Amino acid sequence: MNIEKMENYLKKIRSVQGCKVVIDENENIEEIHIVSNLRRNPKQILRDIEAILISEFDISIDYKKVSIAQIKGDAVQQESDPRLKIKSIEYNNNGSNVEVRVVLEKCGQTYESSMSGINTLSNINRILGNTVLRAVEKFCQVEDVFVFEDARRVSLSNVEVMVVSISSQLKGREEIYTGSAKIGNDAKEALARATMDSINRHILQLTL
């Protein structure tokens, strides 16, 4: 395996500033260490790494073997898994009203939000989506940027999928984002995951 050639390919990825590939005695990749700037989401960089390894070297790698250190000035932020994740979702039904509490987590830190409203199916979806977005805003240290717009349950190739749309108002510009998640045993959990899918790729621009 030509490690130098592989590293040179990976260094061509946009925003990547440095790269080190570590292999074992059987020439299997043990680790890939990447240094990048903050102009791109680490998840996008990770996808580019996977694409290059498959297309140029016919190698499929476990994403857990890739670590991405993002540099901002003199600070280095380690991002082996860049995603903000759902830690818990709780519901408190009070007859005609319902309260939703969402806790998100990243790097051991939690970000919590709760909202309440009329206990109807469509309104619960709206409350849940907006509660997730309020927790995201706490992580980003912003207010009133995201709004949950709509959710639809669709069937694709006999698989039930939740699709959501959200809007954002940032720096005077309105954007619409979409996300999706496979529905397992809990459609509401899928809605929360779809909401996170719609927003995770856009979080970086709010945290710079």
The DSSP line for 84-116 is: -EEEEEEEEEETTEEEEEEEEEETTEEEEEEEE
pTM of the model: 0.60
Supply the pLDDT for residue 208.
45
What mean pLDDT, rounded, does the chain reach?
86
Q: Looking at 41-55, 102-116, 141-155, 170-184, which range is the least confident one?
A: 170-184
- The answer to whether residues 148 and 164 touch, using CB atoms and an 8 Å cutoff, is yes
Beta bridge partner(s), residue 118:
97
Amino acid letter for position 148: F
pLDDT over 90 at 88, yes or no: yes
Return d(Cα 196, Cα 104) in angstroms, integer. Answer: 10
